[in-house]
Amino acid sequence: MFDNNCQVCATRVLIFQSQVSSMTNTDHGIEVTFTCWCGTEQTQVMGRAARRSAHAA
């Protein structure tokens, strides 16, 4: 479970495992694709590599 600030419905919501459709390891972090409660498919990059990239920017 993680939280997401949805760009479409403009709310902060909890995303559960059942809403996740894929997870892919990339050089920038773990790319998680999921469906928000409003029905919009979204992607969020997470993990250690994502935090390092955010600090480097």
- Each of the 57 residues of the chain gets a pLDDT tens digit; together they read 899 999 899 999 999 999 999 999 999 899 999 999 999 999 999 987 766 655 555
pLDDT of residue 48: 77
The secondary structure of residue 33, as a DSSP letter, is E
pLDDT of residue 19: 97
pLDDT of residue 56: 53
Query: How far is 3 from 32, CA to CA, in rounded Å?
Result: 12
For Cα atoms 50, 48, 46, give the angle at the middle one, nearest 5 degrees: 50
Query: How far is 35 from 41, CA to CA, in rounded Å?
Result: 4
Query: How far is 9 from 20, CA to CA, in rounded Å?
Result: 18
pLDDT of residue 52: 65
Phi (first) and psi of residue 9, to 5 degrees: -90, 0
